[in-house]
Structure 1
Amino acid sequence: MDDNKMAKGMMIGFITGGIVGSIIALLYAPKSGRELRADIKVKKDEYLEDASEYLNTAKEKASTIISESKKKSEQLIKDAKEKASHLLSDANKILTEAKAKAGETYEKSKQIISNESDRVKDAFNAGLEAYNQEKKKID
């Protein structure tokens, strides 16, 4: 972008310098007023044409830069959407796996607790029965 600004500045400087130099040359040239006015008109037309060409070139370059920037921004948006989609997909996969593992762990824990609870109940009942039998022996 700095090169474009520098080139633009140089082009404006050349055009301005050319106009000023031409006007000075025409004013100091030994010609009649009619010839001088005709020369000024010709030079004015030449410089207007040059300025118009420069403006058209600048418009084309700006259009190209805008078009390229638009394409790049569209590609960046597309890439960002794809990456976000992949991240979301991965996150959903991890969440699903975590839920499945948590469910498995819950079921295993539930089964272990149930088994241990039954074992403790059986042991308690056996202890209670043994106590009652010993109590009957003593009575």
Structure 2
Amino acid sequence: MTGTDERPTALRPTRQRIAITAALRESVDFQSAQEVHDAVRQSGEKVGLATVYRTLQAMADSGEVDVRHSPAGEATYRRCSTSHHHHLVCRSCGRTVEITGSAVERWAHAVADEHGFTDVAHTVELVGLCADCSAAKAGN
């Protein structure tokens, strides 16, 4: 998520957007457009995959969802808290934890100040192995 604390005005609540929002709300993990599409269809809604892609992109653009890219470059989406935060992501299973921290904020502002930048936004994503994946790796 970027350095702003406020999200833009919500998008028009169409039937498709409501179904996609519900599917995102049901998962704690980032999901691909295909996974969201599958979840929407399993709920009984009829929404085309192209509509899911467009809606997710619009929701990301408006700040309603966070987007991150997998190592392969695939965009994945998640409804996160509305406050400014960053993500800690397991590089093996994709488990994601929202993190907040003033140390990151202080560092970003100090670097910007040092170079004379103003009105700076930032995105921080920490990547590592979660406890379960670390344990599985150690057991092999």
TM-score normalised by length of structure 1 = 0.21
* Larger-Rg structure: 1
Q: Give the strand-richer structure, 1 or 2.
A: 2
Query: Higher relative contact order at CA 8 Å, sep ≥6: structure 1 or structure 2?
Result: 2
